[in-house]
Chain A
Amino acid sequence: MSILVIAEHDNSELKGATLNTVAAAKEIGGDIDILVAGMDCESVADSASQIPGINNVLLANKETYKNSLAENLGNLIVELSDGYSHIMAPATTNGKNFMPRVAAKLDVSQISDISAVISDDTFERPIYAGNCIATVQSTDSIKAITVRTTGFDACESTGGSASVNSIENDTNAGVSSFIKEEIAESDRPELTAAEVVISGGRGMQNGDNFSLLNGIADKLGAAIGASRAAVDSGFVPNDMQVGQTGKIVAPDLYIAVGISGAIQHLAGMKDSKVIVAINKDEEAPIFSVADYGLVADLFEALPELEAKL
């Protein structure tokens, strides 16, 4: 078995999702290589080489890969695919973007969003918003896989000393170009990496009221999320959405405020270790997954919670 893991990074830092993906690769077993494709991303390759148990780090350092354009990156991975039994990436928006291209070019059926490894060809993955878990066996010679990062604890990030090999492939497809990126600047942790997440729903009533969550998030070092209902109502941007079609989170503590608990939302947070729900409707389905439920008016409860922390 020989596995190629595609590193998630921003050209300066290796993202934690890579460590969860390597952890999944280690459960499959075999030699693991990591591909770092980007521009001026030597520091990322260096971090990747320090992950224990890595065979080789492949560094594709080119303008072509700077913005992780799916067409260019997909073609590169296809060129490198020879000899690998598994190609794996985290199921981030980036991994979801390029991996199906790789699978299609290799004429294999991708296994999306695996949450457990059963054997080298059999995996568990959630379907129907996590209401069912399918155990699927792939019959393809190469397994193209995206990994649900919350399903695997991150592997160690230091202690290894893999060699870094530069590769010169340049697979610019010339059909897409990067215009701009607007990444929300925040001192708060990333939603998918945070140990504590506090999310607001339609009960927040408007976008301004989300500021009620700020003080609590500051005190707990929490990331702030939202339900789809809050996003649909225009309260907050979609990158805050936790749920089936948003981010999947599994923090130590998840606090759901004014969220009724539609199945699509539960799909994104029900693997959290401890769940707190604050809602004025005692019948709200969110209470069925909560470890601690509080029936209260959030406009009274939130300031009180902030004061008590």
Chain B
Amino acid sequence: MKVLVPVKRVVDYNVKVRAKSDESGPDLSNAKMAINPFCEIAIEEAVRIKEAGNAEEVIAVSVGDASSQEQLRTCLALGADRAILVETDESVEPLGVAKALKEVVSKESPDLIILGKQAIDGDANQTGQMLAAMLDLPQGTFASEVDIQDGVVQVTREIDGGLQTLSLTMPAIITTDLRLNEPRYASLPNIMKAKKKPLETLSSSDLGLDLSPRQNTLKVTPPPERAAGIMVEDIEQLVDKLKNEAKVIT
């Protein structure tokens, strides 16, 4: 069995991103970049499936500019066997990413495709579901447990209010939620080994894809500021303020 894991290079989750003062976009100059945390969980899950003897090969893939090679090398250090970069200098919307991934899927024919549920930059939460629809495959989104059985995969999903378990025919698409696993750290020997693993580059124009955006970003602005609050001395004062000033409790 083959597992494909699409990953995205994003701003590190510790960076507080601000809008540029000319409102043209987020200010990402000199921001530390990293693999999207949910994608890291996806790689971990794929590697665990392989370690459990349920898969022979884990392939990491990314759609982005040449710098995404860095995140693909991280995937290789975490246990992926090889990597593919669909290189494009454009900023690609989830719809375009799904189209590019569809081409990779038809080349590689994976049995399972595991993605992060959401990238922490655009917060769109679309790519996995879109890819599933384009391929007419079942999806188990927001997964907190994945159980591979004979030709089917059982996925427990984090839904509003609790958990839902589905059974999906394979090939299937899974998107990861937080509690699916705790990703490992790459060891130094594995980081060294990763440098020798194959990383293939395809260009989006070779694939004959139109990835041009369908949405125009007119402006990017900071969110409305909250007025400064006050510090209270004790619980008594807090309760008094909530009752008599804010009037949110009675």
Among residues 65 to 106 in chain A, which have CB atoms less than 8 Å away from a CB atom of chain B?
Answer: 67, 69-71, 74, 92-94, 96-105
Asked if A247 and B231 sit within 8 Å, CB to CB, the answer is no
Closest chain B residue to A118 by CB distance? Answer: B218
Q: Which residues of B are at the interface with A, using a C-beta cutoff of 8 A? A: 11, 13, 16-19, 26, 38, 93-95, 98, 117-118, 120-134, 136-142, 144, 154, 157-169, 172, 177-179, 213-223, 226-227, 229-236, 238-239, 241-242, 246, 248-249
A182 CA / B248 CA spacing, docked (Å):
33
Q: Does A39 contact B (CB under 8 A)?
A: no
Could you write out 7 A-B pairs with CB less than 8 Å apart? A70-B139, A71-B132, A92-B160, A100-B127, A245-B177, A293-B230, A309-B239
Decide if the interface of chain B is mainly helix, strand, loop or mixed: mixed
A175 CA / B168 CA spacing, docked (Å):
6
Asked if B121 and A179 sit within 8 Å, CB to CB, the answer is no
Q: How far is the CB of A123 from chain B (nearest CB, A)?
A: 9
Asked if B126 and A103 sit within 8 Å, CB to CB, the answer is yes
Residues of A within 8 A of B214 (CB): 108-109, 138-140
Work out how many contacts link A and B, with CB atoms closer than 8 A. 266
Number of interface residues of A (CB under 8 A): 88
Asked if A110 and B124 sit within 8 Å, CB to CB, the answer is yes
Residues of A within 8 A of B216 (CB): 136-137, 139
Residues of A within 8 A of B11 (CB): 128
Q: How far is the CB of B183 from chain A (nearest CB, A)?
A: 12
Residues of B within 8 A of A108 (CB): 95, 214
A30 CA / B238 CA spacing, docked (Å):
46
Residues of B within 8 A of A157 (CB): none
Q: Does A56 contact B (CB under 8 A)?
A: no
Asked if A100 and B231 sit within 8 Å, CB to CB, the answer is no
Q: Does A51 contact B (CB under 8 A)?
A: no
A71 CA / B162 CA spacing, docked (Å):
21
Residues of A within 8 A of B213 (CB): 109
